[in-house]
Amino acid sequence: MPLIAVSAAWAVFWGSWSALLPAIKLELGISAGDLGLALSAVPVGALPAMALAGRLVRGRERAALTATAAMFAVSVAGIGLVTAPWQLPLALLVVGAASGALDIALNLATGRAERETGRRLFQPVHAAFPVTVIATAPATGLARSLGLNVGTVLLLIALIVIVTSLSALALPAGQGAPSTSSDTGKRGLWGAAIAVGALAACVLIIENSVEQWSVLLLEEHRGATPLVSSAAPSVYMAALTAGRLVAQALPRMPLKMLYLVAGVGGGAGIALAGLGGTVLLSMAGFALTGLALGPLVPALLSRAAADDPSGTLVWGVSTISYTGFVISPLLVAGLSSWLGLPTALAALGLLGLPLLTRFAVDRS
């Protein structure tokens, strides 16, 4: 299916990226601090691009998905041309913008496909991303061990993305951007987008914290070897995927129940990961977190697509929820300096409370 293929191709880069960072750092001769500063350019580029893309994509999903995937491929290849440290943040700014636009285009195209076909698509489309990340990270490490340099790997990834982008041409053409009936209707949609997007951002804060801090937790606070600790993000991603595929395979579960599962399971899971005193308990916590949180964001986007054919709600929820990725590193870093990393991660379990509150008040 084209939507799943594009999601997987998008993930090829992000799955490979972490495995390429040591080589990029070495080639450019930069410090860890300089690298971290350069990486912050990704969300800086993504958020405004997401805000703009929603205006342009709605009603033109097929063309937009093809174009944004192709632009992302070009931006990925552009990183391979970086030869000086000052060029890296500029290249990543472009990558962030292209990735953000692709994110919006993919969600809007998936929402349109769900409305037109009556099929549930958000769960499998979103499941394709973590599955690919799990596969491509070690594959990139193997490519490096075989002597391929960063530029060559990035060029291969760009070719995969641009070839896959052509599959989007198989989607039905859009009919132009639909509009809401009034200014009051638009304000109501954006109010709903803020509320739902904030709930999704709670999920993404936890998700990003696992991706960025789980290895450090296991190595420095659980005494795990680098090999064992490096498996933590994969354990989380595998559980995330499993949660989405289970939600897809089961009869449609009410969104209200997914709030409950995510609030209880996600909150308890990340608390267990942070406070569990052994590697096994922390790994189990990461797995529980991914399993419980995995289905919620795709389900929220699916509901948004069904409730608003104009696409404004999907656009708004996608953009606002992305702030979770921006907030997460700063939040965990700040909490860690105060409480220590294990307690900081456990404290993120409190983000399950808004989800439980929504469960309690949701009448659907």
* In the chain, where the domains are located: 2-170, 183-361
- Average pLDDT value for residue range 114-134: 88
- Which of 185-189, 229-233, 252-256, 271-275 is least confident? 185-189
pLDDT tens sequence across 129-161: 988 988 887 788 788 778 888 889 999 999 999
Q: Tell me what pLDDT residue 196 has.
A: 93
pLDDT greater than 70 at residue 128 = yes
Averaged pLDDT score across all residues of the chain: 88
Supply the pLDDT for residue 343: 93
- For 157-202, how does the pLDDT look when each residue is reduced to its tens digit (9 = 90+)? 999 999 998 887 777 665 555 555 555 566 678 888 999 999 999 9
Q: How much of the chain exceeds pLDDT 90, in percent?
A: 48
Fold of 183-361: Growth Hormone; Chain: A; (1.20.1250)
pLDDT of residue 178: 57
Give the residue with greater pLDDT, 155 vs 61: 155
Decide yes or no: CATH 1.20.1250.20 for domain 2-170: yes
Give the residue-averaged pLDDT of 271-292: 94
Asked if the model's pLDDT at residue 90 lies above 90, the reply is yes
Residue given tokens 């490979």 in the structure block: 16
In the chain, alpha helices (H)? 2-28, 32-39, 41-57, 61-79, 87-117, 122-145, 150-165, 183-221, 226-229, 232-249, 255-261, 267-275, 279-293, 296-307, 312-321, 323-339, 341-347, 352-361
Assess contact for 38 and 200: CB atoms under 8 A.
Answer: no
Question: Looking at the predicted structure, is the pLDDT value of residue 124 above 90?
Answer: yes
Average pLDDT rounded to a whole number, residues 70-86: 93
Whether the per-residue pLDDT at 234 is higher than 90: the answer is: no
Measure the CA dihedral 241/243/249/252, to 10°: -130
Kindly state the tokens that stand for 311: 């696409």
User: Residue 217 carries which DSSP code?
Assistant: H
pLDDT of residue 175: 56
pTM: 0.86
The answer to whether the 2-170 and 183-361 domains have the same CATH topology is yes
Contact in structure between 203 and 293 (CB atoms under 8 Å):
yes
pLDDT tens-digit profile of 27-43?
888 886 787 788 888 88
